[in-house]
Structure 1
Amino acid sequence: MPPAVPGPILRRRRLGIELRRLREQAGLTGDQVIERIGWASASKLSRLENGRSRPDPDDVDVLLTLYDADDEQRAELTAITHEAGDMRGWLRNFPVMTQQQRAFAELEAGCAEISEYNPVLVPGLLQTPGYARHRILSAAQVAAEAGDPDGEDPETEVRARQSRQSLLTRSDAPRYTVVLEEAALGRRAGPPEVLHEQLVHLCELALLPNVTPRLLLRDTPVGDWYLPPTAFSVYRFVDPLDPETLAIEGGFTDVMSTDLNTLNRYKVVFEWLCSSALSASDTLSWLIEATGRLTGTAVESTAAYGPATAPTQRRQGSGRLTTER
């Protein structure tokens, strides 16, 4: 099982935030700190405060002494420093992990809540091995055509993705809400048997108490005709002092940010998406019926799960679409 504590990268960010706060509290500029400590490069402090380098416990101890940190602060930040540097120990919690999957695994560890949207793909936490394999192989073909072949073995990547997925079934699993566009589950996603397996898997995941999939039908408007430009995920952590993090998935490049203004915009977008998407029960009905259609055996699910139709919508005074539950 993945650890129920944040990964090293998040610990580095938390440490950096606390070190910067203590420096400012001490009334010191970065240049003054470098001068008093005698470090050769000002970038060393910058990398520490921005969470971009593995912290040396001795360096952190020197800073805490300079900032006159009290015993409680010193004990807390010393523990965080060791967690931030123990990448090897943290990775032992996973049966297999690759560089490509590591950044997301680190964000997911220690989460209390994950909110995710994807217009064209089933997110990695929900993918079956077959679906993941097709996604990885198709991306590898693009890289090869561009003259930049991916060095990772596809089967290792598939296993690494599966290793991340145990997050959703552990005893302290985070609350996970995902909004999927109808197009993400269309027949372009893969061969019929792969898509069928993926739909069945989504039905099973939808029954977990902490997992809430929401389907956005292709013709349903969002907000005042808003079109989300990209896939994204928002992570909130068990420790409220760990900064909420936004991950923007761009296909070939991923961007991560803790900027509050940016985060708040994406939170608003996610609220709009949820307001326009099918309810959780209607989403499950849709998934069951889609599975039946794909196998050529229509499944009559309305008796057990309710009608798989779009919810009635109304406009508030602000023009936002809201859903009648």
Structure 2
Amino acid sequence: MPPAAPSPILRRRRLGLELRRLREAASLTGDQVIERIGWASASKLSRLENGRSRPDPQDIGTLLDLYGADQALREELLGITGAAGDMRGWLKNFPAMTEQQRGFAELETGCAEISEYNPVLVPGLLQTSGYAQLRILSARQVDEGAGEPEQGEEPTTEVQARLARQSLLTREPDAPQYTAVLDEAALGRRAGPPDVLREQLVQLCELALLPNVTLHVLLRDTQVGNWYLPPTAFSLYRFADPLDPETIAIEGGFTDVMSTESIALNRYKVVFEWLCTAALSASDTHSWLIEATGRLTEATPPSTVTFGPTTAPTQRRRDSGRLTDR
């Protein structure tokens, strides 16, 4: 099972926020800190404060001395520094993890609460291997049609990496509270062959029974708020440690954006509340999933989705993006 402790990346972000707060409380600019400590590179402090580099305990101790941190805070931040540097130990828990999936795993680990919405896909934490495989292969067709170079990871490795994250939902004893709003389009016949969709629906029915999982289906013709249309998929992360900054991941096709900025977080929290209110209740969603499963008969021929080479379909116009990474 993945560790309950936050990932080293999250620890670096937490440490960076604390270092910046201490510097500002000491009324020091970045240039003044660099001059007093004698570091050769002005970017070193910036990388530490932005959580972009592995922190050295000696460097952190020097900064804490300069800022006049008390003993309790010093011990806390040096402990965080040690966790922020243990990337190798943390990665042992994800032997199949690809670089693309690692960013999501780093956010999910250590979470107390995860809230997700996707207008076209089942979120990665809920996908079956067949649904995940189909999403990966369909995305590669777009890349091939656009003349993009062949991707480095094998599809089987990408599927394993995606599934490796899912043990988070059944982790004992501290599985996060997970809530997802699934758009009906993500489970419609356009999303995949009937046997793949049926397997996905069965898994959703089972996951919906977990005490820490709440699923809502948003029907295609349901009004959200005052005719609000959510433009992108997004995920909200609240961590077990209340001092770790809440984070939002906004999925924008080819590029994902992650932020801890409070204004953006509050806006998406409002949107998620609207979505939950508009969608079916948890009990009605479970009934809907059961009925949708029944409509996909067992007599449907098996799908022909494979891991082999794919041929891009003829396109009248080039797609501007995709929402497939999750």
TM-score, normalised to structure 2's length?
0.89
Q: Which residue of 1 aligns with 2:207?
A: 205
Q: Which residue of 1 aligns with 2:47?
A: 47
Q: Which residue of 2 aligns with 1:186?
A: 188
Amino acid at match of 2:224: V
Distance 1:61 1:150 in 2: 42
Task: Give 1:239's match in structure 2, choosing from 238, 241, 248.
Answer: 241
Distance 2:89 2:95 in 1: 12
Looking at both structures, which has the greater relative contact order when contacts are Cα pairs under 8 Å and sequence separation is at least 6? 2
Distance 1:154 1:54 in 2: 31
Q: Which residue of 1 aligns with 2:159?
A: 158
Q: Which residue of 2 aligns with 1:282?
A: 284
Q: Which residue of 1 aligns with 2:221?
A: 219
Instruction: Find out whether 1:175 has 2:188 as its counterpart.
Output: no
Distance 1:249 1:191 in 2: 25
Q: Which residue of 2 aligns with 1:131?
A: 131
1:274-324 deviations in whole A, cap 9, x for unaligned?
010000000000000000001169xxxxxxxxxxxxxxxxxxxxxxxxxxx
Q: Which residue of 2 aligns with 1:295?
A: 297
Q: Is the 8 A contact 1:112 1:238 kept in 2?
A: yes
Q: Which residue of 2 aligns with 1:18?
A: 18
Instruction: Find out whether 1:108 has 2:103 as its counterpart.
Output: no
Amino acid at match of 1:159: Q
Comparing 139-148 and 242-251, the one that deviates more: 139-148
Q: Is the 8 A contact 1:185 1:195 kept in 2?
A: yes
Distance 1:134 1:36 in 2: 56
Amino acid at match of 1:228: P
Instruction: Find out whether 1:264 has 2:255 as its counterpart.
Output: no
Distance 1:94 1:158 in 2: 13
Distance 1:296 1:79 in 2: 55
Q: Is the 8 A contact 1:248 1:254 kept in 2?
A: yes
Q: Is the 8 A contact 1:115 1:177 kept in 2?
A: yes
Q: Which residue of 1 aligns with 2:82?
A: 82
1:209-266 deviations in whole A, cap 9, x for unaligned?
0000101111110000000000000000000000000001123211100000000000
Distance 2:210 2:197 in 1: 21
Amino acid at match of 1:125: L
Amino acid at match of 1:66: L
Which ranges in structure 2 are unaligned for 5 or more consecutive residues?
300-326
Aligned residue for 1:28, secondary structure, equals coil
1:128-154 deviations in whole A, cap 9, x for unaligned?
000001111111222233323211111
Amino acid at match of 1:19: L
**Aligned-pair distance for 1:73?**
1.1
Q: Is the 8 A contact 1:110 1:237 kept in 2?
A: yes
Aligned residue for 2:237, secondary structure, equals strand
Q: Which residue of 1 aligns with 2:321?
A: none
Distance 1:187 1:88 in 2: 42
Distance 1:135 1:98 in 2: 16
Amino acid at match of 2:150: P
Q: Is the 8 A contact 1:179 1:214 kept in 2?
A: yes
Comparing 244-253 and 195-204, the one that deviates more: 244-253
Distance 2:42 2:210 in 1: 49
Distance 1:64 1:274 in 2: 44
Q: Which residue of 2 aligns with 1:196?
A: 198
Comparing 287-296 and 97-106, the one that deviates more: 287-296
Q: Is the 8 A contact 1:144 1:150 kept in 2?
A: no
**Equivalent pairs: percent with the same residue?**
78
Distance 2:256 2:144 in 1: 19
Q: How many residues align?
A: 297
Q: Which residue of 2 aligns with 1:252?
A: 254
Amino acid at match of 1:238: A
Q: Which residue of 2 aligns with 1:307?
A: none
